[in-house]
Chain A
Amino acid sequence: MVMHSREKILDAVKRNQPENTSLPAIPFFEQPFTDLAQKFSEVVQAIGGEVHPVSSYAQINTILKEEFGNKTIFTSAKELTELVDTGITYANAHAFADLELAVVEAHLAVAENGAVWVTEDLLQERALPFIAQHLALIIHPENIVPTMHDAYAKIGTLDYGFATFIAGPSKTADIEQSLVLGAHGPKSLLVFLLTK
C-alpha cells in the first residue's frame, strides 16, 4: 500500500509538472553596513539578547559567576570546562530539565539577523540550548558573516545530524501580540564576542 501511494503520487506529479525553468543564480548582496560585529550586536540586542565583548574565557567565567552565582551551569565549550564546575552527570537530555544555564561555543554568526549557527558536535545533547533556563553563546568576531547567503556559502554541504540557527531568547507573542521572552526555551540569551 505504501509503495502504491508513492508511485501514484510521483506519477501524478510528473504528469502535472509545468515546463522546466532553470534555477536562478543567487548573488551575494552587498549590505549597507560594514562593521559586522557592530551590526550583529545591534540586532542581537534588538531581538532581546545581551552582548558582552570579552577577550578571554576567564573573563566570560567572571561574568557568568556574577550573573548566575552558584546555579547549575553546563558548558560544551572546551576552554570553559576547566573553569566551570558543572556538577552535572547525565545519562540523557532529560537530566538537563532543571539546568539554569547552558554555555555553547559556536563557529558562525550572521550580522543581518543576529542568528548564531550551532551544530550538533558543539552541543553534546541536541536539547541543550533549548531546555536550559538561560543560554550563553560564544562567538569569535571574525566568524560573523554579513547575510544568510554568506552563512550558507560557509556551511556548504557540511554533514551533521542536527544544526540550528539561534537568534535571541525563546519568545512568543501569542497572547494579544504582547511580546514575552521565555516561551519554552531559554528566557534570556547572553552572547560573548570573544576577541583573542
Chain B
Amino acid sequence: MPKTIAEHPALADKFNQDEERVNWHDQTLWWVRAKRDKAAHTLPEWEELRNLASQIKHNVLANLSEYLIQFEENALKNGIQVHWAADAQEHNAIVKSILQKQGVSQLVKSKSMLTEECHLNEYLQQEGIEVIDTDLGERIVQLAEEPPSHIVLPCIHKKKEEIGELFHLHLGTPAGNADPDFLTAAARLHLREKFLTRKIAITGVNFAIAETGEFVVCTNEGNADMGAHLAEVHIACMGIEKLIPLRRHLGVFLRLLTRSATGQPITTYSSHFKKPRPGQEMHIVLVDNGRSRQLGRKDFRNSLKCIRCGACMNTCPVYRRSGGHSYHNAIAGPIGSILAPNLNMKDYADLPFASTLCGSCTNVCPVKIDIHDQLYKWRQVLVQEGYAPAAKKAAMQGMAFTFSHPAFYRMAGKTGKWFMKTTPFVINNNLNPWFKQRDMPEPPKESFHDWYKKNRQQNGHA
C-alpha cells in the first residue's frame, strides 16, 4: 500500500524494543486505571451518572445545531467574539488573524487536543509565531519535539532522566538532576516568566454551555488560568461537540471527568469563563473539522460524546503496551482509533485493528460510548472501502466469512481448538499480528459451540 505514515504494528514494534520501558508504561497506566476504579466505587450512583451523561450527550447530538446557535447568541451577549471554522486550516487561519491584528508573535497555550488535531503549533511556527505550551507534560514533549502520547498524561512515555536531560539542555538545570520536585520547580519558574510576558493565551475547552454562553476549562496545574487571566487576549478553541445544554449538567460531567481520568474527585481548577474581564478580548473558535460528518455516521456518532478523560487508554491492553505514538494521531488509544478514520480513512485504516476488542474501554467510558463495537464496525467499513491493512484484511475476510456461514464456523472452531492444542507455537507468527510476542492462551477443553449445544440439550431446549 502506498503509505507515507508508518502503521500501528510497526510503531508498536519500535516502542516494544525497550522492554523495561514498556513494562513500566503498562504498569503505570494500569495503576491510574486502578485509581479510577477506586474513585468510581466510592459513588453508589456511578452507573446512573454514566447513564445520565450518555443521555445528556445524546440529546446534545440530536439538537446540536440549535445548541450551537443558542450558545453563540449567549456568548455574543456576554461580550465574547465567536468564530466558526469548517476545518483545521480555517481554525489555524482564524487564530493567526487574531494574532496579526494584535501584532503579536508570541503566545502561551494550555492543553487543547483540538489544537493538536489541527496542528496549530506547527502552523504558527511556520508563520514565525512562537507557541509555548504551559501544561508541564506538554512543555516536556514540546522541548523534545514530540507530540503528546496521551490526552491527559502527555509525557507518560518519558522517564524522569530523559526529562532531566531535556531541562538541562533547554532550561539550564544541572546535568543529571532528575528529581520530579526539582524539575517541576524549574518549570514553574521558566513558565511564570512566560505567563507574565505573553499578551495572548490560548486554552482548550472542556464544556461549553448553551444556556449561558460560558465555557469551562479544567486543569490541575492552574496553567489555563495563569495564561488567560494575565493575557490581554484569550482565545478558546473547541470542537463543536463540547456543547452541553444547561449549566447544571456540569454537576454530572464534573463528577465523572476526573474520577475517570486520574481517580481524583475533581481537578484542582474547574474554571467558568463567561465574560472577558474589563479591557480583555475573549474569542471562541467553534471547529467542525469532520465532526458534522461523524454525526451523520449512525454507527460512529456516539464517539462525539467523548469528554476526553483518557480512561479508555489507561485500561487498553494494546495502548498500554504499544504507547501513544504508535497511533500516529493527535488522540491515541481506543477513542482515537474511532475518531481518526473519520478524518482520513486511508491514513488511519490501521487503527481500528489496533485493538483486541476486549471491551474494557467500553466498560470504563464515563459517557458509555460503545467503543469496542465501533472499532469492530470500522473494520468492516474499512474492508468494504478497500482500505484495510493487507495482513488484517485476510484475517478479517476470513472472520466475515465464518460469521456468515454457521456450519463453517462450527468446523473452524473445532479445527482451531485442535490446531492450537497440537501446535500452539504455529499460530505465533507474523500472519497473526496480535499474537506476536505473546503466547497463545490455553485453549478450552471444548469449544463454546460444543458446550452450548450440550448444555441446551441437557436443559431440554435443543
Residues of chain A whose beta carbon lies under 8 Å from any beta carbon of chain B? 2, 5-6, 8-10, 12-24, 26-27, 29, 32, 43, 47, 93-94, 97, 110, 112-115, 120, 125-127, 130-131, 147-149, 151-153, 155-157, 159-178, 180, 182-186
A-B contact count (CB 8 A): 255
Q: Nearest Cβ distance between residue B104 and chain A, in whole angstroms?
A: 17
CB of B281 within 8 Å of the partner chain = no
Stretch of B81-89, B353-361, B402-410, B418-426 at the chain-chain interface: B81-89
A186 surroundings in chain B (CB, below 8 A): 222
With A17-B295, A184-B191 as given contacts, are A147 and B268 in contact (CB-CB < 8 Å)? no
| Residues A170 and B271 in contact, CB atoms below 8 Å apart | no
- The closest CB in chain B to the CB of A32 belongs to B44
- What would be 18 A-B contacts, judged by CB atoms less than 8 Å apart? A9-B68, A9-B86, A15-B292, A17-B295, A18-B298, A19-B62, A23-B245, A26-B249, A113-B265, A127-B226, A157-B211, A157-B247, A162-B272, A163-B271, A171-B220, A174-B154, A183-B136, A184-B222
Q: CB-CB < 8 A to A153: which residues of B?
A: 248
CB pair B61 A18 closer than 8 Å? yes
Q: How far is the CB of B417 from chain A (nearest CB, A)?
A: 42
Instruction: Label chain B's interface by main secondary structure.
Output: helix
* A184 and B62 form a contact (CB under 8 A): no
CA distance A112 to B45 in the complex (A): 13
Q: How far is the CA of A93 from the CA of B52 in the complex (A)?
A: 40
Contacts of B455 in A (CB 8 A): none
Q: Which of B180-188, B369-377, B387-395 contacts A (4 or more CB under 8 A)?
A: B180-188
Q: What is the CA–CA distance of A32 and B28 in the complex, to the nearest angstrom?
A: 31
**Chain A CB within 10 Å, residue with most, of B52, B229, B295:** B229
Q: Decide yes or no: A162 and B226 within 8 Å by CB, A157-B212, A175-B136 being known contacts.
A: no
**B230:A16 contact, CB within 8 angstroms:** no
Once A9-B286, A153-B248 are accepted as A-B contacts, the answer to whether A160 and B266 lie under 8 Å apart by CB is: no
Question: Given B140, B251, B277, which contacts A147 in the complex, CB threshold below 8 Å?
Answer: B251
User: In the assembly, what is the distance between CA of A147 and CA of B252, in Å?
Assistant: 10
Cα(A19)–Cα(B61), bound, Å: 9
Docked CA distance A47–B35 (Å):
14
- The answer to whether A167 and B59 have CB atoms under 8 Å apart is no
B132 proximal to A (CB < 8 A): no
- Residues in B with CB closer than 8 Å to A13 are 64-65, 68, 240, 288, 291-292, 295
Q: Are A16 and B55 in contact (CB under 8 A)?
A: no
> Could you say which of B58, B153, B222 contacts A170, with CB atoms under 8 Å apart?
B222
Closest residue of chain B to A160 (Cβ to Cβ) is B274
B160 at the interface (CB under 8 A from A): yes
Q: Which residue of B228, B266, B268 contacts A171 across the interface (Cβ within 8 Å)?
A: B268
> Taking CB as reference atom, which chain B residue is nearest A150?
B251
**Closest 8 pairs (CB-CB, A-B):** A185-B222, A16-B296, A113-B265, A183-B221, A174-B137, A12-B292, A127-B229, A178-B180
* Further pairs besides A93-B230, A97-B192, A160-B275: 15, Cβ < 8 Å: A13-B291, A15-B292, A18-B298, A18-B301, A23-B55, A24-B55, A29-B48, A126-B228, A152-B247, A162-B277, A170-B220, A174-B136, A174-B184, A176-B159, A183-B220
Known contacts A162-B275, A171-B221, A43 near B68 by CB under 8 Å: no
Cβ of B121 under 8 Å from chain A: no
Q: B288-316 CB contact bits vs A (8 Å, 1 = yes)?
A: 10011101101001000000000000000
Evaluate contact between B221 and A5: CB separation under 8 angstroms: no
Asked whether any CB of chain A lies closer than 8 Å to the CB of B269, the reply is yes
Chain B contact residue count (CB 8 A cutoff): 94
Residues of B within 8 A of A (CB): 28, 31-32, 43-45, 48, 51-52, 55-56, 58-59, 61-65, 68-69, 83-86, 90, 134-137, 140, 153-156, 159-160, 163, 180-181, 183-185, 187-188, 191-192, 195-196, 211-212, 220-223, 225-226, 228-230, 240, 245-252, 254-255, 262, 264-277, 286, 288, 291-293, 295-296, 298, 301
Contacts of B191 in A (CB 8 A): 184
* A130-B222 contact, Cβ under 8 Å, with A113-B265, A149-B248, A178-B180: yes
- Residues on B with C-beta less than 8 A from A14 are 65
Given contacts A5-B86, A18-B62, A148-B251, contact A12 B222 (CB under 8 A): no
Partner of A97, one of B196, B245, B271, B276: B196
Among residues of A, the one whose C-beta sits closest to the C-beta of B85 is A5
Q: Which of A94, A114, A182 contacts B184 (CB 8 A)?
A: A182
Known: A148-B254, A161-B274, A177-B31. A29 touches B45 (CB 8 A): yes
Asked whether A175 lies within 8 Å of B160 as measured between CB atoms, the reply is yes
Distance between B146 CB and nearest chain A CB, rounded to angstroms: 14
From A149, which residue of chain B is reached at the shortest CB distance?
B251
Min CB distance, B319 to chain A, in Å? 16
Most chain B CB neighbours (cut-off 10 Å) among A32, A126, A148? A148
Beta-carbon contact of B159 and A21 below 8 Å: no
Are A164 and B56 also in contact (CB < 8 A) when A20-B63, A157-B247 are? no
A174 contacts B155, C-beta separation under 8 Å: yes
CB pair B270 A115 closer than 8 Å: yes
> Which A residues touch B155, using CB under 8 A?
174-175
Q: Which of B136, B251, B255 contacts A172 (CB 8 A)?
A: B136
- The verdict on A152 contacting B268 (CB below 8 Å), with A13-B68, A21-B55 known, is no
Q: Are B64 and A172 in contact (CB under 8 A)?
A: no
Please state if B264 and A125 are interface contacts (CB–CB under 8 Å).
no
A125 to B301, CA, bound (A): 41
Q: Which residues of A contact B140 (CB under 8 A)?
A: 174-175
Contacts of B65 in A (CB 8 A): 10, 13-14, 17
